[in-house]
Amino acid sequence: MKLNIGETIKRIRKEKEITQEEFAEVLGVSCQSVSRWENNSCYPDIELIPTIASFFGISTDKLMGIDDLNEKENVQKYLERFQVAISKGDIYKCIKIAREGVKEYPNNYILLDKLMYALFCSGDDDGNIPEWKENMEKYDDEITALGERIMKYCPDINIRLEAASRLAFHHILHNRKELAKKIYEIFPPMELCKEQQMWWVLEKDEELPFLQKAIKQSYESLKSFIRLLADADVVDIETEYIAIKKIFELEELIFDGNRPKNSWGDVWLDFDIAKRYALMGDYDNMYKHLHLSVDEAKSFDNRPDEQRYTSVLVGEITEKKTDFETSDTRPLCEILRDKWLLHDEFDSVRSSTEFEKVLKRLE
C-alpha cells in the first residue's frame, strides 16, 4: 500500500500557510528533512507521526492516507445526492448537502467547490429564488473566500480553473470587473488548451474517444459564442436571426439529426427564434416556433431518466436526467408560460386568440 504522508504534509502545511522552515522548527528537524518528506524521498520517523498528526489536527490514518479510499467513497455519495438536488433546482438542499460534506471532510476540494457553486446559484436571478438578491450579499464573502482558497491550494487544475471562472463571474455580478479581469488573465488561450495538445501523446485506443469528446466540447463552445452574437445586442435583428438559424444547422451537422428534441436548449432555441420573427413581424413563423417550443418543453418535463443517441462525429452519447443543473424548481412548461412568454417582444400579439392557444397548451 502506498503511503501519501509527504503529499498530505505538503498540502496541509500550505493550507495553514506554514513554511517548511517553521514546520521543521516545530518538530525539531532540519528543513531538508521536511523537503525530502514532501518530495516522497523518504518518510518521517515513526515516532514523529503522532506529533505531526496532532499538530495538523488530523488522525494518523489521515496523515498516512490510509482512509483516502473511504473518504473517496463517502464523497461520491455526497456528490450523487448533490447532483439529484441540483437537477431539481433545490439549491438550499444542495447547500445543506455540501456543508455536511465539508464538515466531515474540510479539506476536500471537490466538496468545497460544490459548496461554492451552490452558494453562487442561490443568488441566481434567473431561477425562482425570491431572496436571490439577499443571497448574493449574504454569501458574497464566503463565495470569495472559497474561490480564493481553491485557486491557491487545490492540487487539481480543473477544479482550480472552474472555481476561478466562477469567482471571476461572481466579482462581475458585484461590479468588481477589475478583479474579474485579473482572474481571467491567468487562463490559457484556446490554442494552448489541453484539447489542442493532448492528441500527440495518445495511445491508439485513446484517439477515437478523445476526438469524439473534443468535437462535442468544441460544438458546445461554438454554440455558446453564436448565442452571444445573437443575444448581446451587437448586430441587427436579421443577423441575430441568421445566427440562431446557424445553431439549428450546426446541431443537425454534428448529431445527424439523432439528438432527441427534449433539452432545455431546444426549448430556448425555438423560443429565441420566435422572438426574432415577432420583431420582424412574421407572425406565422413566430407561432410555428412557439408551438415547437411548447412541444419541446413538454418533452423536457417528461424526458426519460436516461437516453442514448449516436452520430458519426461524436459516437454514442448518454444523457441522464440528473445531468441537468438548474436553480429553478418549476417545470419548464411553467417557466415558459409564466416567464419567457412575458417578454415584451410578444406584447403586440398577447391578446390574440392564437397566442392564447399557446398559453393554453402550457396549462
Q: Which of 68-72, 131-135, 306-310 has the lowest mean pLDDT?
A: 68-72
Q: For residues 225 and 353, state if they share a domain.
A: yes
Q: For residues 96 and 220, state if they share a domain.
A: no
- Local structure of residue 235 (DSSP, 8 states): S
Cell of 146: 472559497
pLDDT score at 335: 97
The pair phi, psi for residue 122, each rounded to 5°, is -65, -15
- Local structure of residue 89 (DSSP, 8 states): T
pLDDT score at 192: 86
pLDDT (mean) for 277-299:
97
**Domain encompassing residue 28:** 5-64
Q: For residues 236 and 312, state if they share a domain.
A: yes
pLDDT (mean) for 265-284:
96
Q: What is the pLDDT of residues 22-36, one digit of tens each?
A: 999 999 999 999 999
Q: Say if CB 123 and CB 136 are below 8 A apart.
A: yes
Check whether 17 has a pLDDT greater than 90: no
Check whether 68 has a pLDDT greater than 80: no
Provide the whole-model pTM.
0.80
Residue where one domain finishes, among candidates 137, 156, 187: 187
Residue 138 or residue 46, greater confidence: 138
Chain mean pLDDT for the chain: 94
Nearest CA to 323 out of 277, 232, 270, 262 is that of: 262
pLDDT (mean) for 62-72:
75
Nearest CA to 281 out of 249, 244, 241 is that of: 241
Q: For residues 10 and 96, state if they share a domain.
A: no
Q: For residues 156 and 82, state if they share a domain.
A: yes
pLDDT score at 1: 44
Cell of 230: 445573437
Cα–Cα dist 164/156, whole Å: 12
Q: For residues 54 and 151, state if they share a domain.
A: no
Q: For residues 166 and 104, state if they share a domain.
A: yes
Nearest CA to 146 out of 106, 173, 97 is that of: 106
pLDDT score at 33: 92
The pair phi, psi for residue 108, each rounded to 5°, is -90, 110
**Number of domains present in the structure of the chain:** 3
Q: For residues 302 and 174, state if they share a domain.
A: no
Report long-range pairs for 202-208 (Cβ below 8 Å, ≥24 apart): 208/315
pLDDT (mean) for 77-83:
98
Residue where one domain finishes, among candidates 119, 153, 187: 187
Residue 204 or residue 4, greater confidence: 204
pLDDT score at 2: 55
pLDDT score at 181: 97
Residue corresponding to grid cell 443568488: 123
Q: For residues 75 and 116, state if they share a domain.
A: yes
Residue where one domain finishes, among candidates 64, 83, 111: 64
Q: What is the radius of gyration, based on Cα positions, of the chain?
A: 25
Q: Say if CB 159 and CB 150 are below 8 A apart.
A: yes
pLDDT (mean) for 2-14:
82
Q: For residues 268 and 354, state if they share a domain.
A: yes
Q: For residues 336 and 304, state if they share a domain.
A: yes
Q: For residues 154 and 247, state if they share a domain.
A: no
pLDDT (mean) for 210-239:
95
- Local structure of residue 130 (DSSP, 8 states): T
